[in-house]
Structure 1
Amino acid sequence: MESHVLLRTEGAVRYVTLNNATKANSMSTSMIETLRETMKSADRDEMVTAVVLTANGKFFCTGMDFSAEEQPVGQRPSNEQELKYQQAVDLACSKTTIVLVNGPCYGAGNGLVFACDIRIALPSAKFVLSEVRKGLTPATISRYLVREWGTSLAREAMIIGRMVMPDELRKIHAIHHIVDDLQQGKSLVLSVLETSRKCAPRAVAQSKRIVNAVYEEAQAGSDKVIKEVFVDMIRPSDEAAHGIAQFQAGQRDVDWESYRRDRRQSKI
């Protein structure tokens, strides 16, 4: 079976490609584990100075795989499961990370994008925090979204699940470059890599550490809240169970008003 995450190393660059196109690059538990281990490996490898992330197919990533066999929500998780999903998009890496977003990005896929340092997008890239439509919340990726989007846009996008276009994010520098097509995107990646070759690896790592430390100090205490919200989200809940069941049935726009009304009437 072909791997859902393709890896190759060219010189000092580790290339990572999401390769689950038949499922719109939704992330299975095995994909999550591969991504995490790939970043850890790159971090340890002194010969790797940069990581490039992209995807095959029409979509960049449609978030977590909510098919019946992969569903992490609505079942009481073990401590190991809680840790695994908290770290689902933990792409912490001391090396320069570049992402080429070749198509629409939904849910947790946004965490992959905005955990990276340099973000390049095609016009077809669209960013949607779709969790709220399923009765969920983007808990684990919120640290990246608030950091890179700012509180106002992140809040709006989280609570109404609207589509955010690349040009809107380009204006606030959350997306650094918008390219015309995939070939231009690949060329720009090479250009960025060529520039980064002139930068000392240890200085890069320390620079990233400084920026993250300043942000995290200003956000002291957020880890506790993020964990509380995440754990509450993945515990069994009627709302999440209903939202995911509707999603699995092909219903993308759940009538939540009717759902709440029906539940209220059933209790009377």
Structure 2
Amino acid sequence: MNAEMVLYERRGDIALVTLNDLNRRNALSREIVRGVSAALQRAMDQGVRAVVIAANGPAFCAGANIDDLRDGWMERPAAEEDPALMFKRIAEFERPVIAAVHGPALGGGMELTLACDLVVAGEAAWFSMPELGHGVIPNTGVALLPRVVGSRRAFDLILTRRRVPADEALDFGLVNRVVPSHAVLDSALSLAAQVVEAVPPGAMKAAKLNLRAHAAVDWERVVESPLDVPKTEWQEGLDAFMQKRTPDYDRFWRGNTTTLQGKGD
């Protein structure tokens, strides 16, 4: 595990996993994906009862690292570096996983919270899925978000890419608690302790297994879905983001124009 990008510590029976790439606002990178996956394995090996995922710096997670998106993530990344498979590990983890979100959670950061079982958010936190504007899709988000907020709201958040503040996220069911920003981590740790208090591990595992089974996710489709996006479109979107310019998507719309003619034409 990369000890710089992802920190791991024990808080009694709780494992605290902290994103720690402040220079990139904890954007999901190959290093962070490997680090979080390794931390989950370490937590299981140590027999912890729950995991809290938090972050250092002003942002919880600024989404996917653009350099990694441009360099292979849109086209079959290695399994140990695939964010979708990391989200799957979180969602299917045998112990409760709680996100402690103190600041913005964008794109992959919001998907990370969706993969967790519970979310504690600070008053300054907000959530957004800006992917379509960059010519990519939130492949895990399109699978998990409708199960959390319903299909209409999922379409709204994915298509409009708007910011959702913490209080609205609570109304939507995106988060379970909203607390003062300074109290996010302590509140998440306290909730984790409350959840696992006087509960045996087998029953906890069975509860999580069946909760997920009744809202099953096609993870194979999630992993493959980035390939549905035309390469020229995501290349333009990501290049524009890096070059700090407005992407030129009009040419793609012109290329897809279809003229419908009636029988009498």
- TM-score, with length taken from structure 1: 0.83
The answer on whether the counterparts of 1:104 and 1:126 sit within 8 Å (CA) in structure 2 is yes
Which residue pairs with 2:167 in the alignment? 167
Residue identity in the other structure for 1:245:
D
Alpha-carbon separation, structure 2, partners of 1:154 and 1:132: 13
Q: What SS is found at the alignment partner of 2:93?
A: coil
Q: How much does 1:212 deviate? A: 0.5
Residue identity in the other structure for 2:33:
I
Q: How much does 1:261 deviate? A: 6.6
The answer on whether the counterparts of 1:105 and 1:127 sit within 8 Å (CA) in structure 2 is yes
Question: Deviation per CA, 1:147-185, whole angstroms, max 9, x where unpaired?
Answer: 212211111111221112222221233211111222x22
Q: What SS is found at the alignment partner of 2:214?
A: helix
The answer on whether the counterparts of 1:89 and 1:108 sit within 8 Å (CA) in structure 2 is no
Question: Deviation per CA, 1:29-78, whole angstroms, max 9, x where unpaired?
Answer: 12101112222332344x300101111111110111013xx234678845
Q: What SS is found at the alignment partner of 1:175?
A: coil
Residue identity in the other structure for 2:56:
N
1:54/1:231 CA distance change after superposition, 3 Å: same
Identity of aligned residues (%): 24
Alpha-carbon separation, structure 2, partners of 1:113 and 1:78: 23
Q: Does 1:232 align with 2:228?
A: yes
Question: Deviation per CA, 1:85-130, whole angstroms, max 9, x where unpaired?
Answer: 4414221311111111010111111121111112111122111111
> Comparing 237-246 with 29-38, which one deviates more in the overlay?
29-38
1:64/1:237 CA distance change after superposition, 3 Å: same
The answer on whether the counterparts of 2:30 and 2:81 sit within 8 Å (CA) in structure 1 is no
The answer on whether the counterparts of 2:33 and 2:80 sit within 8 Å (CA) in structure 1 is no
The answer on whether the counterparts of 1:73 and 1:241 sit within 8 Å (CA) in structure 2 is no
The answer on whether the counterparts of 1:134 and 1:247 sit within 8 Å (CA) in structure 2 is yes
Q: Does 1:242 align with 2:236?
A: yes
Which residue pairs with 2:34 in the alignment? 33
Which residue pairs with 1:178 in the alignment? 178
- Give RMSD over aligned pairs: 2.7
Q: What SS is found at the alignment partner of 1:89?
A: helix
1:38/1:141 CA distance change after superposition, 3 Å: farther
1:215/1:81 CA distance change after superposition, 3 Å: closer
1:54/1:15 CA distance change after superposition, 3 Å: same
Alpha-carbon separation, structure 2, partners of 1:232 and 1:172: 29
Alpha-carbon separation, structure 2, partners of 1:135 and 1:40: 33
Q: Does 1:23 align with 2:43?
A: no
Question: Deviation per CA, 1:186-215, whole angstroms, max 9, x where unpaired?
Answer: 332243133122222221111111111111
Which residue pairs with 1:108 in the alignment? 108
The answer on whether the counterparts of 1:128 and 1:164 sit within 8 Å (CA) in structure 2 is yes
1:15/1:240 CA distance change after superposition, 3 Å: same
Alpha-carbon separation, structure 1, partners of 2:203 and 2:238: 45
Which residue pairs with 2:69 in the alignment? 71
Mapping of residues 30-179 of structure 1, within 5 Å: 30-45=31-46, 47-67=47-67, 70-72=68-70, 77=75, 80=78, 84-90=82-88, 91=90, 92-179=92-179
May I ask how many residue pairs the two structures share in their alignment? 253
Which residue pairs with 2:260 in the alignment? none
Which residue pairs with 1:213 in the alignment? 213
1:239/1:50 CA distance change after superposition, 3 Å: same
1:200/1:26 CA distance change after superposition, 3 Å: same
Alpha-carbon separation, structure 1, partners of 2:98 and 2:74: 36
Q: What SS is found at the alignment partner of 2:132?
A: helix
- TM-score, with length taken from structure 2: 0.84
The gaps in structure 2 that reach 5 residues or longer are: 257-265
The answer on whether the counterparts of 1:19 and 1:55 sit within 8 Å (CA) in structure 2 is yes
